Structure 1
């Protein structure tokens, strides 16, 4: 059984205790897709479920591949270990190896800790940002690592009004852009309440050839601006939320060959299970919203999304 290195809080941001029961599996998709952004380094929900189970649950509903993202040094190291076959029982390694890939980075909010405070979330001493990204670079050379990220800007948890913290995030973002170009890898962007500043950095630095807005959170106008810069837009369970009509409008103006799907599991669980534990097997809920927004059949939506994900990451997942 794989031991996760992080855990999602049992308390929601509103302060109430979350329902930790696992949602019922949805009807399987008519075609395969890949969850291009999840965090299998996090545990959540009732029971102790390892990587093998999450991958198997996903497989049963047509999610044939998962990209797990580690975005601080402990999580990045763990992700590289999993790519090397560690933490997975021997009898499951071939199954997991076929369906799982990884990516890593220093998250924007963690970059602030490396630069400004020098201490991590648990009070541990941190190395410099330069040293951290040098290690990320080494970890990205592990076979099975297919993306740099998530990196970008977050003005929700780290106020951009504090110059030292703002500049730390921008510096880290620039370093990850350079790293993606050096490695020839796609880059996943974290953009929270920072649309214009993210575009400004991309314009100044020049975006990597393959740039993905993970958990896209903008409206149709911002979608057009990102698309003009050659970006791909990845939609999560937030697109199913009742108050997220703007995301469905963004979907409507995005060509199918620039759309990806993700969970950001264990976070951002789709309706009707919002707030409960999330896993890649719940992607069919988001795929149905994508198909509806694009005015195409679910089968056509799956085929288009899968082709895009395979092209960007060079990751086929399991056939079928």
Structure 2
């Protein structure tokens, strides 16, 4: 978690908003009280609901617990692609149990990450990631829940696997960070693109162009907290309360009123997550 800069001030309220992807455990939440503290801060600025996302078994258990502790919190559970080599039978059974919980609104984050293999010790290889991704796709379809995708430097292969397996009814590309070509391919396929603080970064020119191409009804907004804190707070810790900074930046890029964009993104979150 970033710690070299102080936490951002509370932004001007922007409501209603749903943080479509955050990690409350990595933000410091440990129990019902600390979950409530984080969500209370978010609610002060209009972020009334959050989806807390898992990337391993411990985080998946916490996410489901948090969603039962606080009715403003919902869970998404999966094994992160870089940890796909941990998907043994016992792990699959536990993820399936947690994913079936009524407070779990998506299977994720899963997908492909081609950046870390060879750089991160113990990282799952590409073949292991693809196998794990296929298993999560099947799980999402069996449970009739949205599939939440992590994509890093794997655009072509991700679309290929989704086409080969047959995508679930709802596919969400979390923290969409690809270019206009990928955005158009996803939009044409009917996928939902979720934008994080990266869309506010000044040097993210290709992402800015991509963000302009997404229809209002295929767009979500997220923090991915405690990571990807929006400009001008890069290097500071992120939390769901920071989401209005990202939404205002995204609205400026798209030439939209931020309140209209917030309303559209919230309606989409309610629809795709069945909130």
Query: Do the two structures share a fold, i.e. TM-score over 0.5?
Result: yes
Stretches of structure 1 that go unaligned for 5 or more consecutive residues are: 1-7, 11-17, 86-95, 115-127, 316-320
For 1:242-261, list aligned pairs within 5 A. 242-261=202-221
Q: TM-score, normalised by structure 1?
A: 0.80
- Larger radius of gyration between Structure 1 and Structure 2: 1
* Alignment partner, residue 23 of structure 1: 8
Stretches of structure 2 that go unaligned for 5 or more consecutive residues are: none
* Alignment partner, residue 122 of structure 1: none
Structure 2 residue 184 is the aligned partner of structure 1 residue 224: yes
After superposing the two structures, state which structure 1 stretch, 72-81 or 272-281, moved more. Answer: 72-81
Q: Following superposition, which runs of at least 4 residues in structure 1 exceed 3 angstroms of deviation?
A: none
Does the 8 Å CA contact 1:105/1:133 hold for their aligned counterparts?
A: no
User: What is the CA distance between 1:302 and its match in structure 2?
Assistant: 1.1
Does the 8 Å CA contact 1:44/1:277 hold for their aligned counterparts?
A: no
2: distance between equivalents of 1:73 and 1:84? 17
2: distance between equivalents of 1:82 and 1:166? 32
Structure 2 residue 14 is the aligned partner of structure 1 residue 55: no
After superposition, the C-alpha distances for 1:37-60 in whole angstroms (9 at most, x for unaligned) are 000111459xxx821111011111
* Alignment partner, residue 129 of structure 1: 88
RMSD of Structure 2 on Structure 1 (CA): 1.7
After superposition, the C-alpha distances for 1:112-148 in whole angstroms (9 at most, x for unaligned) are 3x2xxxxxxxxxxxxx533212210101122311010
Structure 2 residue 79 is the aligned partner of structure 1 residue 158: no
Q: Classify 1:298/1:70 alpha carbon distance in 2 versus 1 (closer, same or farther; 3 Å).
A: same
* Alignment partner, residue 62 of structure 2: 78
Does the 8 Å CA contact 2:146/2:273 hold for their aligned counterparts?
A: yes
* Alignment partner, residue 3 of structure 1: none
2: distance between equivalents of 1:9 and 1:281? 16
Aligned residues: 268
